[in-house]
Amino acid sequence: MRDNGKLDYLEMQAANGTIDSVKAFYSAAFGWTFTDYGPSYAAFGEGLDGGFDGSAARETKPLPVIYADDLEAAATAVVEAGGTVIRPIYPFPGGRRFHFTDPAGNELAVWSE
């Protein structure tokens, strides 16, 4: 069960064709297993669910993802609390999400099924 307002997923980059080597590394080093979603995305469930995005730019930082029962209400709450929505709500495989920055400039995402 997903918890509203809690960290739920961690997305990291695997840019420039490194997705296979990243998967091989984490499999060898820690025994991780992956579910592929197309040629450029591999998800893992190793304590905290997450995935490697092969379409991300090399300078992309890890993206913490928070779960929300009500995505529209979460977007409103982010703005009212002083955050900035930098990518409005959009669909992705598994649900919908938006990206925002907090007052310190950290980028996070919020998703819902």
Cα-flanking dihedrals φ and ψ of residue 53, to 5°?
-105, 110
For the chain, domains (ranges, CATH) are: 1-65 (3.10.180.10), 68-113 (3.10.180.10)
Residue pair 103/110 in contact (Cβ under 8 Å)? The answer is no
Residue pair 100/107 in contact (Cβ under 8 Å)? The answer is yes
**Model confidence band, residue 30 (pLDDT cutoffs 50, 70, 90):** confident
**Model confidence band, residue 36 (pLDDT cutoffs 50, 70, 90):** very high
Mean predicted confidence (pLDDT) in 77-90: 95
Cα-flanking dihedrals φ and ψ of residue 26, to 5°?
-70, -30
Percent of the chain past pLDDT 90, that is, above it, reads 71
> Taking the C-alpha atoms of 11, 87, 89 and 67 in order, what is their torsion angle to the nearest 10 degrees?
40
**Model confidence band, residue 47 (pLDDT cutoffs 50, 70, 90):** confident
Of 24, 54, 57, whose CA–CA distance to 39 is shortest? 54
Q: Say whether pTM exceeds 0.75.
A: yes
What confidence score (pLDDT) does residue 17 get? Answer: 73
